[in-house]
Structure 1
């Protein structure tokens, strides 16, 4: 496993308060480990939904949703755990073994229904993860659109 000090990409927090969405960019340092992402999202202290959307090095994405008593996770490519600490952290928390290094297949891990109550059923999230011709930021934009905060998400990315 390659340890990564600085990781390219971005992390956006989507927060729903009083029926309205807002998106905020999280500090890029959270991409180094899952604990940092979870901590940053929990610090937002919202009574509504909070979803972390992370594009890691334009290779894969991670969805993080704090829930009472824990966190729901979805990783777009389990094989990323072989090269990225944050992906390995996700598999570790899910108690899932990483794939073999020879395995070239891409498959998601985690709770693919974590956004069902926000308008994105498990089947659709699976279809989005299977769109291997799309970059993770494009996949995350599709997810944001389906959940109802696409405009806010796009506005945050335009400030990058």
Structure 2
């Protein structure tokens, strides 16, 4: 069961000394895409860093930040109608907001975003397919499948 007090958090993940290290980021990283990218870059101690953002109980955002580029995965494009961070991420992904009243979650961006950590695009699609899964629970599953769940849980609380 998800701990409701942790429904808003931002965590950076990077490889250091052969281990994945998690760092809690300031909540200001949740205010917009530029702030999110800057927070992940600021916490980075490696060439490739990831940001896991749980903005509320309707979506999550994952960033992969390298010196040359930033990739992203927005768990549900429908959130762009209500949240600045989601709207900016959807725009950066080059996707249009969904029209009408879409029933199922509509991911946008790179499903292969954490393949370097051990979760393929097919595995990510399976995580996102859970109809009743909360974003916090989905991020926990992703961290578990990528091998850093204990560190992730410790840092996000």
Same structural fold, with TM-score higher than 0.5 when normalized by the shorter chain: yes
Aligned to 2:43, the other structure's residue is in SS state coil
Return the alpha-carbon distance in structure 2 between the equivalents of residues 17 and 48 of structure 1: 10
RMSD over aligned Cα atoms = 1.4
97-106 vs 148-157, which moves further: 97-106
Deviation sequence 1:110-133 (CA, Å, 0-9, x none): 001011121100001011111122
Aligned pairs for 1:45-84 within 5 A? 45-84=44-83
Contact 1:31–1:86 (CA under 8 A) maintained in structure 2: yes
Give the TM-score of the pair, scaled to structure 1.
0.88
The answer (yes or no) to whether the contact 1:17–1:48 under 8 Å persists in 2 is: no
Quote the offset at 1:48 in angstroms. Answer: 4.8
The size of the alignment, in residue pairs, is 151
Secondary structure in 2 matching 1:43: helix
Deviating more after overlay: 96-105 vs 54-63: 96-105
Rounded to whole Å, the distance in 2 between the matches of 1:33 and 1:74 is 15
Higher alpha-carbon deviation: 96-105 or 23-32: 96-105
Shift of 1:44: 2.1
What are the within-5 Å matches in structure 2 for residues 11-160 of structure 1? 11-157=10-156, 160=157
Gaps of 5+ in 2: 1-6
The answer on whether the counterparts of 1:15 and 1:46 sit within 8 Å (CA) in structure 2 is yes
CA deviations on 1:94-148 (whole Å, 9 max, x unpaired) are 1111111433331111001011121100001011111122211111011111111
d(CA) in 2 for partners of 1:145, 1:103: 29
Q: Distance in 2 between matches of 1:67 and 1:48?
A: 6
Q: Which whole-Å CA distance do the structure 1 matches of 2:49 and 2:9 have between them? A: 16
Q: What TM-score do you get using the length of structure 2 for normalisation?
A: 0.90
Please tell me whether the aligned partners of residues 10 and 25 of structure 2 are also in contact (alpha carbons under 8 angstroms): yes
